[in-house]
Amino acid sequence: MLPLAGCMKSTSVVYSDKNVTVTLKDTVNFINVHASHGYFEMTVFGEKYSEVRGWIPFYIEIPEKESILFVTGREYDNGQATIHVVNLNTKKELHFPAYDSNIGKCIRNTNNLDASNNVLFFEQVEKVAGNKLIIGAGEWNSRYRYYLDLQIPEFEKEEGWWTNYPNTYVLPNGKKSNDSRL
Q: What is the mean pLDDT of residues 170-179?
A: 81
Position 173 pLDDT exceeds 50:
yes
Residue 41 banded pLDDT, cuts 50, 70, 90: very high
Q: What pTM value is reported for the model?
A: 0.85
Residues 146 and 138 sit within 8 Å (Cβ to Cβ): no
